[in-house]
Structure 1
Amino acid sequence: MEKKIKVLVFGSGFAGQGHADAFRAFDVDVVGIVGRTANVVSKVADKMGIPYSGTDWLQALEDCQPDIVSIATPGGAHFEPIKQAIEFGCHVFSDKPLTDSGNSALELYELAKNKKVKTAFASSFRYMPHIQHAKQLIADGAIGEPTEVECISHFNLERDIPFGWSHRKEEGGGRLNNNFTHMMSIVTSVIGEKILSIIGEVRDDMGKAPIVEGVHNFKTRRDFIPKDLNDPALKWGQSNVEWSYTVLAQLESAMAFKPVSVLFKHGGLTPRFNEDHIVFYGTKGAIYIKGHYGMGPLYIWDKNNTWKTLALPNDIVANQPKIVGDTERNWHYLVREFVKDIKGETAEPYQTFKEGSLYQKLIDLIRKNNNWTDVSHLQ
């Protein structure tokens, strides 16, 4: 009987539990889980039937002897555990962002190459079925040569969500780390992976957020918003990272003679009036997908100059893991291909630390906010 692959998960919140479920779905043995708070990680391990739990990552590597590690903590806590796991000889599956800086992300990419371990970078909304449908349509010439892409989203997040990692650059927070990584992955999956040039502007609309104890799961942080925000005893933490961004990029495409222009516009705290959307424009038509991550439905501007809804092809539907929840289903999709690759089976191409380090370099460039031209003297 073939020996089961073993995975050790770092992070006991929503992502850690989701990663564990995904690996189990593809016959990988989840041998342990590590978190920062002993009683929390112990409860999660008991609930999920994971035999080992702890707070010491290096000790867990020694005790569990995993083949793969799955990194599901905030990005600022990724560097040392990933480095230690690579040195240990483990393959690494990491959620985004890879780290909190381009240089540290590049170091991990180079180390993984040198150690000849496989890596997966989970900017995984490229696996959304309507995104895959758009990729198929554009490759088949449905809109002619692609010329332009527009990605617009407004999340209207609560300004009073408790202070935490999402508010701090050094902890992997910010909308570039946690939204732009997915958006760039989506667009490159459809248009082409080669990014030629980029320019951007960021803005911190948040300022501060209330400090509240007991928040262990990112998905439930809204439940901890203080009822009295004017309480004089309430403490506040300062944000130092962007909550809105505007980025322009040019991508090379095998389907176009000229670079394809891309607009990424995201407001984390701003309300939407119409639907968030992704649009692919071409010389002979356009494809519009509702939803910030391409949730659908998908519409095509046809030869009659009208928008027409297209159903998902059966092959794309059949290839999707049967999982409820977009985030969870996309993790399952990527884990499936990653595990196939590790086993030496034929797998679809997936993003690795190569893309993870590139995206972190791009984020560093965008955050410099030095793209402005002073025209005040012209007025």
Structure 2
Amino acid sequence: MTKVLIFGTGFAGQGHAEAFRAAGAEVVGIVGRTPHVVKEVAETMGIPYSGTDWQQALDDCKPDVVSIATPGGAHYAPIKQAIAAGCHVFCDKPMTHSAETAVELCQLAEEKGVKTAYAASFRYAPSVLHAKRLVAEGAIGEPTEIECMSHFNLEREIPFGWSHRREDGGGRLNNNFTHTLSIAASVVGDRILRVIGEVRDDLGRAPIVDGVHNFATRRDFIPKDLEDPSLKWGESNVEWSYTVLAQLESPFAGKPVSVLFKHGGLVPRFLEDHIVFYGTRGAIYIKGHYGSGALYIHEGKEWHEQALPDDIAVTIPDVTGETEQCWHYLAREFIKDIKGESVDPYPTFREGSQYQQIIEIVRRNDNWTDVTGLA
């Protein structure tokens, strides 16, 4: 049985552990930064080994696969150690905190001959899989453009942490754009030709609060009195809003497909978030910021909701939560590939390092043309 060692004890770490167990692997150990937390999680989940020393855990557990489920800023060193140990690596997004380190890890994995999986995994949402089939079948003609719109209205008072810091893997590009770019590429074609973008930090600062260990429960720690003079504040240095334009090469179209990625992390939505694939003969609309809602196709002059095909439905993991569902799907594909079974292409460190380079290009904010001098 394939042995898996997990790095990270929060929402992602526990989710990855369940995903690998469902894929038929054995979770042999889990590592975290806080002794009592990692011990408690290991006992609750029935994981035999726990600790805070990653290298020691690699030596003790001798895993076939490691799963990296910590914030992006803590990915580089443990991935490098795992590759050196000959482990296959499953890594959540973002791949690392910088393009330079992401490229280095991709090259090291290729040189070592280990397999990698990059969990920009909402490409496995049921309606996204359905859209991929419809586009390939020519349901909308040649794809021409894609629109990815999302507005999260996140609480500005969420306690200061990794999500507020660029060096720790924070920012909306790292944690939202990675998914939507993966979705667009999986449906129309994964060769990214050009990109241009703009980012903005609308937040500025967030309260510093002790005790936050799980990303999923961070809202529970929002201070009740934000005017308390003893409250300390941390400064954000990442984007909370972005607009990105991209062009993708598609085997289904003679011209590049134009893509608009628009995200506001702190602003409210009026209508639902959505993803739309437009083509020369129709369009596909999916509800939800990651395409996890209902799918509609435009035929003639009307939109018609489409049922998920039975053969796609049976491939969807039977678990609660869209994030967990997609982790399960990718972990299953990864384990199959490691065992030598035939699988469709899935995102690897190649995509992870490419996305990290694109994120740094967008963050430069140097795409503007000054027109103040025009007549």
Both proteins in one fold, TM over 0.5: yes
Deviation at 1:295, TM superposition (A): 1.6
In the aligned structure 1, how far is the partner of 2:369 from the partner of 2:19?
47
Find out whether 1:370 has 2:359 as its counterpart: no
2:351 is equivalent to residue 355 of structure 1: yes
Structure 2 counterpart of 1:291: 288
User: Residue 235 of structure 2 corresponds to which residue in structure 1?
Assistant: 238
**SS of alignment partner, residue 378 of structure 1:** coil
**Which of 145, 159, 163 in structure 2 is aligned with 1:162?**
159
1:244-263 to structure 2, matched below 5 A, reads 244-263=241-260
What CA deviation, in whole Å up to 9, does each residue of 1:63-95 have, x standing for no partner? 111110000000000000000000010000000
Give the SS at the match of 1:308: strand
Equivalent in the alignment of 1:274: 271
In the TM superposition, residue 27 of structure 1 has moved relative to its aligned partner by 1.8
**Aligned position for 1:329:** 325
1:20 aligns with 2:23: no
Q: Distance in 2 between matches of 1:77 and 1:361?
A: 18
* TM-superposed deviation, 1:348: 2.0
Aligned to 1:191: 188
1:19-55 superposed Cα distances (whole Å, 9 cap, x missing partner): 0001111221111100000000000000001111111
2:128 pairs with 1:131: yes
Cross-structure match for 1:102: 99
Amino acid at match of 2:136: A
1:313 to 297, 309, 315: 309
- TM-score scaled by structure 1? 0.98
1:377 is displaced (CA, Å) by 1.4
**How many residues are treated as equivalent by the alignment?**
375
Query: Percent same amino acid at aligned positions?
Result: 71
Query: Please, which of 108, 112, 129 is the counterpart of residue 109 of structure 2?
Result: 112
Q: Could you tell me how far apart the structure 2 residues matched to 1:220 and 1:318 are?
A: 31
Distance of 1:18 and 1:233 partners within structure 2:
36
SS in 1 for 2:258: strand
Amino acid at match of 1:331: W
Q: Distance between the aligned counterparts of 1:329 and 1:141, measured in 2?
A: 28
- Superposition map of 1:179-218 within 5 A: 179-218=176-215
Deviating above 6 A after TM superposition, structure 1's stretches of 4 or more consecutive aligned residues are none
- Alpha-carbon distance in 1 for matches of 2:64, 2:85: 9
Corresponding position of 1:345:
341
- Structure-2 residue corresponding to 1:11: 8
Distance 2:303 2:23 in 1: 39
- C-alpha separation in 2, matches of 1:317 and 1:246: 33
**In structure 2, what residue type is equivalent to 1:54?**
G
TM-score by length of 2: 0.99
Report the alpha carbon displacement of residue 354 of structure 1 after superposing the two structures with TM. 0.3
Structure 2 residue identity aligned to 1:216: H
Letter of the 1:195 partner, please give it: I
Is residue 226 of structure 2 the alignment partner of residue 226 of structure 1?
no
User: In structure 1, how many angstroms separate the alpha carbons of the residues matched to 2:298 and 2:48?
Assistant: 53
Distance 1:160 1:87 in 2: 41
- Structure 2's unaligned 5+ residue stretches are none
Mapping for residues 140-179 of structure 1, pairs under 5 Å: 140-179=137-176
Structure 2 distance, partners of 1:344, 1:290, is 36
**Whole-angstrom CA distance in 2 between matches of 1:82 and 1:174:** 21
SS of aligned partner of 1:301? strand
Distance 2:152 2:208 in 1: 22
SS in 1 for 2:21: helix
> 1:178 is matched by which residue type in structure 2?
N
Of 38, 43, 51, the residue aligned with 1:41 is: 38
Q: Structure 1: how far apart are the matches of 2:59 and 2:292?
A: 41
